[in-house]
């Protein structure tokens, strides 16, 4: 997955500080097509790879692990 790719957000179990943030967003935002707008971010105790995704109509990015994203289109 790269910058500009569109993804569908899948359900998943989250752990850790970033997980609580992601779970909150899952409850309030729809899961239709989203766009990756920035690069890959490494974070967490295990250097988990997170992808920065911006939701339509939102100013802030939300970070998701790869196993919670499904690639829809390459740009």
What pLDDT, on a 0 to 100 scale, did the predictor assign at position 44?
Answer: 54
pLDDT along the chain (75 residues), means of 10: 69 47 44 54 62 69 72 65
Q: Quick one: pLDDT at residue 51?
A: 74
User: CB under 8 Å, gap of 24 or more: what pairs does 20-26 form?
Assistant: 21/62, 21/63, 22/62, 22/63, 22/64, 22/68, 25/55, 25/62
In angstroms, how far is CA 27 from the centroid of its own chain?
A: 14
pLDDT per residue as tens digits for the range 29-38:
444 545 555 5
pLDDT of 19 reads 46
């Amino acid at each position: 997955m790269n910058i500009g790719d569109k993804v569908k957000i899948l359900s998943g179990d989250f752990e850790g500080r970033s997980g609580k943030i992601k779970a909150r967003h899952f409850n309030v935002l729809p899961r239709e097509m989203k766009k990756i707008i920035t690069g890959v971010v490494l974070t967490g105790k295990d250097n988990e790879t997170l992808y920065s995704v911006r939701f339509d109509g939102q100013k802030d990015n939300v970070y998701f692990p790869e196993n919670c994203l499904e690639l829809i289109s390459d740009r």
